Chain A
């Protein structure tokens, strides 16, 4: 116990009250640095208490890697591993956006088809060289612009300035008709995503329709919109190198290692700064050796992956394919920004609070409606980024974009990673881990030449398993409190 606290306690205590019942555990325990053994025991106690986090998903990941490597010769090849990252990226990104919604205990079933809408708008803008009016036809274009204006109004009404600004950018791009430019198209997609989120969020937060119903309805609506924009049986090809490279391109050798240095260096800097600042102020902290070991292990893992990916993995001798795929830094950047927002800002704290106890959050003066609306804006914007990635991967947008099982896999990724469907519990990295699990299942089963039927059944069962783990650990946590 620090001397300051000791004096504080002494001055305010009267001797008669100095004997509270039971085992007295003072904050003295709280102030000292833990030993490694204590930290491990503490972690184990929390796991037993039902706070599993992403542990089951990580174990599953390891098991899957071992199983598929032993069953298939091609699974653990460099080419396939890079392919795996590119396949899993879009689902992972959409799942990251969904984590925000799931944290409130809400659901966004429309994220998949909404991403399809953003992909179609992006493709139309590219193909018609910025002339969306010509690409959509008069009526559709005016309705589209009307919806963007509506989104701006709703966002301003709820004081969600970022949503309003992005929707306004979308409106400007659509109205002015700037000639095609890949970066502009991608920006447009994200902005349209934000606008969609404003509408969804307003219906849920302000009008008060359950998110399940709103997004189920919008799931159908956006599916129809995609069909309208692209046309029955049509396909919009994305013939643009920049867009193609998003999911298919790689960093060069130097870039790959620069990414490694920045990522690991940044991680180490953030973790160590916080660690030593806590130690300096006498707050409870993990043992320094454990922190260093964690950073070291991560650095080694990242170095191995970077090294492997910077080798030539082309099947033929005619081309050279090497370097870390662009999707890796993309996912990393989104992960870092999102985690930062959730963990280090008041906004993130308020999301957890609303997800944990809406009434408590309201009494604490948090604008619950605004928080609820904003997460849908985030989810739809992330879905738009996911849409850019999957459209880039296949090089075109078809009427089924974002339909099928895009959404189910994304929700599945978040839940498998350990995000609770009941709200209040989950982290952004859950989406990444869960996304990796699903990508490996899909990829591995494909390599083993399993029919689609088996792939679906296995994926579904894994999701069911993850949801059961969530429910059971929740029950365990509730029991532990008593």
Chain B
């Protein structure tokens, strides 16, 4: 595999007395989907927020394309090419797809919005992701289905030549067909050479799209395994107990400090 695009080494994070992340190591490779799984409170969302620059880390190193970087805020992350698609979609209902995709970063010509340019770029991005379920890029977001909205949110992240996309439970509120749509899209992101991190609770989704599975257990990285090397049951054990056979945290005593 090629050089990891994003690498975390020994990340620690505490909220006051609560030590949320213990020495987390994680690599994200381009062209791969890395699933981040773990029980509620295992630290998945905190880890994503640390990568996105929303929470500062206490210690540890972040390497982006092999170079050490300091991400101090969401803007730093965006500048590097790290985009986050949040669980509650950050879309404005009263705007159309193009307007939402360019929100806050409108293209202008002589101080005026360059609508035709933005429309073409938005359509190109959606077409490159083979998004075909929206009839027109000028459709208002309020009239889209949940899956289509998630699609737009993801496409918005891709539009900015991003290199790493973090998806926080993108299928949590979706029906079967819509989940299908979004998972296809996640796969396509990886095929385009992006590093994708997918947080999910749904084992079926994880096994379907992920190349590697990173299991968090009580703020520790229990194991990072290839999705073809493990079974459903093993991952569930990793999530609930932190270990499974010879995988995971060696002895249960080690997990309690």
Contacts and interface: CB of A to CB of B under 8 A. Distances in A.
Residue with the greatest number of chain A CB neighbours at <10 A, chosen from B75, B95, B127, B177: B127
B211 interface: no
Contacts of B94: 352, 355-357, 424-425
Interface in A136-159: none
B135 A283 contact: no
A72 interface: no
Interface stretch (B21-29, B109-117, B219-227): B109-117
B188 to A, nearest CB: 7
Contacts of A278: 116
A241 interface: no
B188 A12 contact: yes
Could you say which of B75, B123, B181 has the most chain A C-beta atoms within 10 Å of its C-beta?
A: B123
Given A5-B124, A8-B128, A20-B184, A424 B137 contact: no
A289 interface: no
B58 interface: no
B119 A283 contact: yes
Contacts of B130: 9, 12-13, 17-18, 20
Contacts of B138: 30, 284
Contact of B95 (A27, A356, A480): A356
Contacts of A343: 113
Contacts of B95: 349, 352-353, 356
Given A17-B130, A361-B103, A363-B86, A30 B135 contact: yes
Contacts of B91: 357, 360
A5 B90 contact: no
Nearest to B180: A21
Contact of A365 (B75, B100, B113, B192): B75
Interface in B112-142: 112-113, 116, 119-120, 123-124, 126-130, 132-138, 140, 142
B151 to A, nearest CB: 11
Contacts of B90: 357, 359-360, 363-364
A49 interface: yes
B250 interface: no
Interface in B162-204: 177, 180-181, 184, 187-188, 191-192
B112 A5 contact: no
B103 A349 contact: yes
B135 A29 contact: yes
Task: Classify chain A: how many residues form its interface, as a range.
Answer: 35 or more
Contacts of A27: 123, 126-127, 132, 136-137
A12 B104 contact: no
B181 A480 contact: no
A359 to B, nearest CB: 7
Contacts of B123: 5, 27, 30
A3 interface: no
B128 A477 contact: no
Contacts of B187: 17
Chain A: interface secondary structure? helix
Given A12-B128, A27-B126, A353 B142 contact: no
A14 B100 CA distance: 28
Interface string B43-72: 000000000000000000000000000000
Chain B interface size, under 10 / 10 to 19 / 20 to 34 / 35 or more? 35 or more
Contacts of B119: 283
A363 B136 CA distance: 25
Contacts of B241: none
Contacts of A361: 92, 103-104
A20 B131 CA distance: 9
B92 A424 contact: yes
Contact of A12 (B88, B89, B143, B192): B192
A155 B107 CA distance: 27
A334 interface: no
Given A21-B177, A356-B95, A357-B90, A480 B143 contact: yes
Contacts of A281: 116, 120
Contacts of B177: 21-22
Nearest to A423: B94
B136 A277 contact: no
Contacts of B191: 12, 14
A26 interface: yes
B93 A25 contact: no
Contacts of A344: 112-113
A207 interface: no
A24 B103 contact: no
Contacts of B100: 360
Given A360-B91, A360-B92, A424-B93, A277 B181 contact: no
Contacts of B105: 364-365
A8 B90 CA distance: 27
A345 interface: yes
A405 interface: no
Nearest to A29: B135
A20 B100 CA distance: 24
B40 interface: no
Contacts of A14: 191
B112 A481 contact: no
A366 interface: yes
Interface string A337-358: 0000001111001101101110
Interface string A28-63: 011000000000000000000101000000000000
24 contacts: A5-B127, A8-B124, A9-B127, A12-B188, A12-B191, A20-B180, A20-B181, A24-B132, A24-B133, A27-B136, A283-B119, A345-B108, A345-B112, A352-B92, A352-B99, A353-B92, A353-B99, A353-B103, A355-B94, A363-B74, A363-B86, A363-B90, A424-B93, A481-B144
Interface of A: 4-5, 8-9, 12-14, 17-18, 20-22, 24-27, 29-30, 49, 51, 277-278, 281, 283-284, 343-346, 349-350, 352-353, 355-357, 359-361, 363-366, 424-425, 477-478, 480-481
Q: Give 3 closest A-B pairs by Cβ, nearest first.
A: A364-B104, A356-B92, A356-B94
Given A20-B180, A352-B99, A356-B94, 20 more contacts: A4-B124, A8-B127, A8-B128, A12-B128, A12-B130, A13-B130, A17-B184, A21-B177, A22-B133, A24-B132, A27-B132, A27-B136, A283-B116, A349-B99, A353-B99, A356-B93, A357-B90, A357-B93, A363-B74, A364-B103
Interface of B: 74-75, 86, 88-95, 99-100, 103-106, 108, 111-113, 116, 119-120, 123-124, 126-130, 132-138, 140, 142-145, 177, 180-181, 184, 187-188, 191-192
